[in-house]
Amino acid sequence: MTKLKGNLVVGQSGGPTAVINHSVCGVVQEAMHYGEIHEIYGMHHGIQGFLQDDLFDLRKETPAIIEGLRRTPSAALGSCRYKLQKGDIEKILHLCQAYNIRYFLYAGGGDTMDTVHQLSQAAAGHNYEIRCVGVPKTIDNDLGVTDHCPGFGSAARFEVVTCMEIVRDTLALRYTETVKILETMGRNTGWLTASTALAGDYAPDLIYLPERAFDLDRFVGDVERVYRLKGNVVIAACENLKYANGAYVAINEDALNVDAFGHPEPGGIGHFLTNLVIKELRLKTRYEKPGTMQRCSGRNVSPVDSQEAYQVGKDAVSWAVQGHHGFMVTLERQTDAPYRCTTGMAPLEQVANVEKGMPEAYIHPDGTFVTDDFLAFARPLIGQDLPDYITLAGYPVEKPRIRSRP
């Protein structure tokens, strides 16, 4: 195959994560190895900045700065949430031609993959040779085809450590802070909320996922039952719980809280459920909402997540130079124990705007916890060496189990 010579551009889109910069580092460092790739540009604030002709010259950065991306959370290039408008694809294609961009790499979730897919199709229609590649990123873990998504493992680790601490706090103040609710991110899927179960003995008592319809009366009954058994209750609830009719339990849907893709701004489930428990059960209740720290905190980066995020960036470039295009890099699990994962490719049309929820096999039959299968899936992704918190040997005295837990 004839070598395609020209410039490369890379961008970041959607909510920043703890490891999306690791992918950019992989892209840049790998691109440096190929004579076919001349200039290496970074989009300043993703495709929205690119449309404004706003680019970084990444070759001007020192090797130390590029390597430093692997220990830096959030999106160093700047991110965006931008839905393509009429005429945008033509303008993007024109800019690619003007800058002689032949390698277009964009890191993000399902909406981002749609942007890459549209550009790939438009370029083909105009006979402009450009290799468009999607680099997966989302804490929601909801991209199709890939086993899991870079960003998820670190966010899940954050949730696990948070629960290890929140549950200890609740036990310490069990007579004054009876019910504690943790509001997690995740949009329309429960992957991140479910990861709180990896806290083991310090996991929440009840976990509520968007994959199961939410019922107010059943929720109140669940809380009351656990309280009578234990004397205190810790709950993890996903931000976008829905009723059986599809309506959100709590959501911000005003004009300022709907993004460019029409997604309503999640938020408020913790406050809503807290008020519900206080009203119905007269139990002192408070909620915790870590907010954006869940997705971009650099304090609990999973080593596994870090390496995989870096690898998908490297392989995106390597395969593009080899002649592949119109694909997203995937993670393909080989074994759970020992954990081994390789990378692969999925056509963009299979992942663009696709949302993958948790399978039934991962959800406990009672709908308020997870199964052994989920724990086996998620445990390797958060990495080893969680905080070594102690528990006094004589405490707690064995009490009735809430359910037959995995």
Question: What CATH number does residue 263 fall under?
Answer: 3.40.50.460
pLDDT value at residue 387? 92
The Cβ of residue 19 has, within 10 Å, a number of other Cβ atoms equal to 33
C-alpha triplet 391, 396, 399: angle, nearest 5°: 145
Question: Quick one: 198 and 314 in the same domain?
Answer: no
pLDDT value at residue 325? 96
Question: Quick one: 235 and 164 in the same domain?
Answer: yes
Report CA-CA distances (Å) from 175 to 171, 284, 285: 9, 9, 11
**Do the beta carbons of residue 1 and residue 325 sit within 8 Å?**
no
Asked whether the predicted pLDDT for residue 266 surpasses 70, the reply is no
Question: Quick one: 124 and 263 in the same domain?
Answer: no
Average pLDDT on 388-397 reads 75
Question: Quick one: 55 and 126 in the same domain?
Answer: yes
pLDDT value at residue 256? 47
Which of 72, 141, 130, 139 lies closest to 106, judged by CA? Answer: 130
Average pLDDT on 153-170 reads 96
Question: Quick one: 311 and 366 in the same domain?
Answer: no
Question: Quick one: 248 and 321 in the same domain?
Answer: no
Structure tokens at 266: 């999640």
Q: Is residue 103 part of a domain?
A: yes
Question: Quick one: 129 and 256 in the same domain?
Answer: no
Question: What is the Cα–Cα distance from 308 to 282, expressed in whole angstroms?
Answer: 47
Name the 3-class secondary structure at 18: coil
The DSSP 8-state label assigned to residue 176 in this structure reads T
Question: Quick one: 220 and 332 in the same domain?
Answer: no
Nearby residues of 245 by Cβ (< 8 Å), 6 or more positions away:
none
Asked whether the predicted pLDDT for residue 252 surpasses 90, the reply is no
C-alpha triplet 397, 181, 221: angle, nearest 5°: 75
- Determine the longest span between alpha carbons in the chain, in angstroms: 73
Q: Is residue 170 part of a domain?
A: yes
140 a catalytic residue: yes
Question: Quick one: 246 and 375 in the same domain?
Answer: yes
CATH (domain of 84)? 3.40.50.450
Name the 3-class secondary structure at 186: coil
Q: Is residue 393 part of a domain?
A: no
Which pTM value belongs to this model? 0.93
Asked whether the predicted pLDDT for residue 406 surpasses 60, the reply is no
Question: Quick one: 204 and 241 in the same domain?
Answer: yes
Q: Is residue 405 part of a domain?
A: no
Asked whether the predicted pLDDT for residue 369 surpasses 50, the reply is yes
Q: Is residue 396 part of a domain?
A: no
What is the tens place of the pLDDT at every residue in 35-78? 999 999 999 999 999 999 999 999 999 999 999 999 999 999 99
Range of the domain at 39: 6-150+299-350
Question: What is the Cα–Cα distance from 39 to 23, expressed in whole angstroms?
Answer: 18
Question: What is the Cα–Cα distance from 8 to 191, expressed in whole angstroms?
Answer: 33
**Do the beta carbons of residue 192 and residue 227 sit within 8 Å?**
no
Asked whether the predicted pLDDT for residue 342 surpasses 90, the reply is yes
Question: Quick one: 57 and 100 in the same domain?
Answer: yes
Tell me the average pLDDT of the chain: 93
pLDDT value at residue 284? 95
Average pLDDT on 245-273 reads 73
Could you tell me the pLDDT band of residue 149, with boundaries at 50, 70 and 90? very high
Report CA-CA distances (Å) from 265 to 169, 272, 316: 30, 15, 31
Asked whether the predicted pLDDT for residue 404 surpasses 70, the reply is no
Asked whether the predicted pLDDT for residue 317 surpasses 50, the reply is yes
Strand order in the sheet with 285-288: 206-208, 233-238, 179-184, 285-288
Which of the following is catalytic: 88, 111, 114, 140?
Answer: 140
Q: Is residue 387 part of a domain?
A: no
| Domain count across the chain | 2
Domain boundary among 310, 327, 350: 350
Asked whether the predicted pLDDT for residue 254 surpasses 60, the reply is no
Q: Is residue 209 part of a domain?
A: yes
Question: Quick one: 63 and 167 in the same domain?
Answer: no
Q: Is residue 398 part of a domain?
A: no
**Do the beta carbons of residue 57 and residue 39 sit within 8 Å?**
yes
Could you tell me the pLDDT band of residue 354, with boundaries at 50, 70 and 90? very high
